[in-house]
Every structure is written in structure tokens, then in C-alpha cells.
Amino acid sequence: MLFIFAIYGDRSEAQLLGKPAMTLSRLLGKVGELAGKLVKPVKRGGQLDPEETMTVPEIIRRWDYPAEDHSIETPDGYIIGVHRIPHGKGGQKDPRRIPVLVYHGIECSSADWVYNLPNQSIGFLLAEAGYDVWLANHRGNYYSRRHTKLNPDKDKKFFDYSWAEIGEIDAPTVIDYILKNTGHQKLQYIGYSMGTTISFVLLASKPEYNDKIISVHDMAAVTDSRNNASPLFKIVSPFTKQITKMYPVIGPQELLPKPRNPKVPPLCAKAAKTCLKVLVPLLDSKDDNMMNKTRLRVYYSHFPSGTSLRSLLHYFQTAAAKTFRKFDMGPKKNKEVYGQETPPEYDYSNIKAPVYLYSGPNDHLAPPVDMQLIAKKLPNLKQFYIVPHPKFNHLDFTWAVDAPDLVYNKIIANMKAEDKSK
């Protein structure tokens, strides 16, 4: 418990020490920069992979695909970065191409869908399959760390959000923008991890958006995480009530941001093998044989990409409550904001769009047993697909070299079938 407060409780520590506190964002940034200077980079063939310092549009163009960078303003002033691949290699824009919106997981970014080789990355595979691909970013991450009024480096209020706001505000804003710019009335939706949570929040809280989505394809779906077997989750979750009570004192915080200076690589990009051995087992299963280890530095140059403490705390809360509900602000604040002392639950019955779920047998963060609980509550579940590989885990949905054969091609085939029936 003391460790948790040492990380998150900057204000309380300031009171104890009698000195101004350094925010979590600044602290992690300083530690990362210092460690990055101390750890010698491991070079491959005398050169670093150029994708380690590239942006997502630069990675896309590197493989001769077209890339567009869109900035979408939400009603509450956040500016969301969305990266578009309008067509496949050697193709051209075609208004008949159906748009597909892809949402990444917590601490991730749109890089998830293009940082493997083109024949292994779903972003490129979707473009070659005839789709107009839109890769969204969560508010507050590396590509969406902007606001019309708030400065994320100075205004802690910028990070006072969770995945609830992303699902209720950002996702519908992005969907409307895409449909307006493409002339389509509907789009396909693909989510991974927190991207799946966003889809459920969106459709449960704004049922009218069911009519704007052809079908939902959610990989490693997460709602209340009651059976989450991640070691880190098990360590922290028993203290959820105490952390929730401390949150008003701790205040909004940025969590594990990606360095803003591209010349300063993240710590794990400098020590990729060490992070693989230490951090991955803390988050997920220990099995890492499905990823391309020669690209570890590329992965860790784009992950983590930043999020809010509140987003992570929200997951701990839903797991402790064993129900999918809005953020718990405490009885008094809940009464003020929600009109009741406990957070209202999201209504699964509102999710009318066709939903396909894709589960990894070895996934500790979104275990199959939790996904089966979600499946039972969905009124229009079309398929519950278990990846046919016993060691396929949470991270493999973005890192595994066999993901196209095991998952991505299945998603595309299901999307094509839904396209024909719309």
C-alpha cells in the first residue's frame, strides 16, 4: 500500500516532506530519460530500426501505403489524433470502400496496428482487403495529448478522465467525423482490450450508435475484469477502495507517457529483453514465443504511450464491484453527478449491433471465463471465437507473428460477411 501511495500520492507526500511534489507524469518522465541515458542501446547490424523513431504516418508511408493524419476535436475540447490508410498499396481512394474504425488498448496507440511487418499488421491487411482504415488514439496518449484550452504539462485537469469519457464522448465524435468525411452511413468497428471497453460503453450509453455500426469485432474484451489473473492486477486490486478514497487527494495523473522528444527512447526500448522478462510476466502470461523478438525495440518505442491514472483505477473499481459501471467518485460525488450514491451500471441490453468476440486461451488480462460472462449478456452476439493456440495471450493480439492466420483473417472474413448482409 505504501508503494502505491509513493507512486500516486504526490500531494500527500508533499505534505509529509514539506516540499512541493513532483507530479507522476514529470517523475516518470525524468526517470525514463535518466534510465535511457544510462542503459546502452543494443544495436542490430550496427543500426537501429528506423521505425523506433518514426511516427505512425511515417511507418505507414515507409511501406508505400498512403497515410493521412486527422485531428478531431471533441465537445469537451480534446483533440484526438486519428491515422488513416485510405486504400491498399498501389490503389486509390474509392468512396465505395467501407470505413473501419480500429481502437487500441490501454497505454497503446495506433502504432499497434502497423508496427509489425505489413503482412503481419492488421492495419495494412485491412487496407489490402478493400477497407478504408481509420486508426484512432485514446485521449491523452502520445497522439492525442492536446486540448483547446488545457495544457497537459501544466493542467492536471487534462487527465481527469477514464475510458468512460472515451466511450461516451470521443468514440461517437470520431465515428460522426468518419461517416461525414466518407459519405457512408455505417462503419465497421474493431477493438482491442480497452478498445473493446470503449465499444461497450459507446453502444450501451448511446444506443443510437448501434445504427451506425455494421458489426463490432472485439479482441480480448474487458468490462468488469473480475477474474483478471494478471500478477500486477492481483497486487493492486485489493487496495481499490483505499485508492478510490485517495483519488481526490492524489488528483488526476498522467500514467507512463511516451517521451515527447523522439531522440529520447523509452526505457524499455533501451532494455527490451529485460522488459520482456520482467514487465510482460507482471502484466500477462510468461509465454512470449509468438512474437517477433527482433522487433522488440520497435514495440517498446511505441509502448507505453500514456494514459490517465483514472482509466486504470476505473478497471480496478469494476473488478472489485464485479459489475460494468461508471467511475466511482465516492457516495457524495456520485449523488451529485449521477443522482445516486453508487455508480450506475452500463446496460448490455442496449448493445444491439452484431458483436463478434475473439478470445486468447492464455490471456490473463481478459481471460476466456470473463469474456464468456460478457458473451452471455450481449443480445446480438454473432460469434465467440477462441484462438486455436493454447499459448495465445493478451499481448499476442498485437505482437504475434501468427496473428493474421489465427485472428486477423477471421475478423476480415466475418466483416466481409456482415458487409454483404447490411
Which residues are designated catalytic? 193, 363, 394
CA distance 399 to 121: 9
Instruction: Say if residues 199 and 324 touch (Cβ distance below 8 Å).
Output: no
Report the chain's terminal Cα–Cα distance, integer Å.
52
Is the alpha carbon torsion for 383, 388, 391, 396 positive or negative?
negative
CA distance 155 to 199: 28
CA distance 336 to 92: 52
Return the biggest CA–CA distance within the chain.
66
Whose cell is 456520485? That residue is: 334
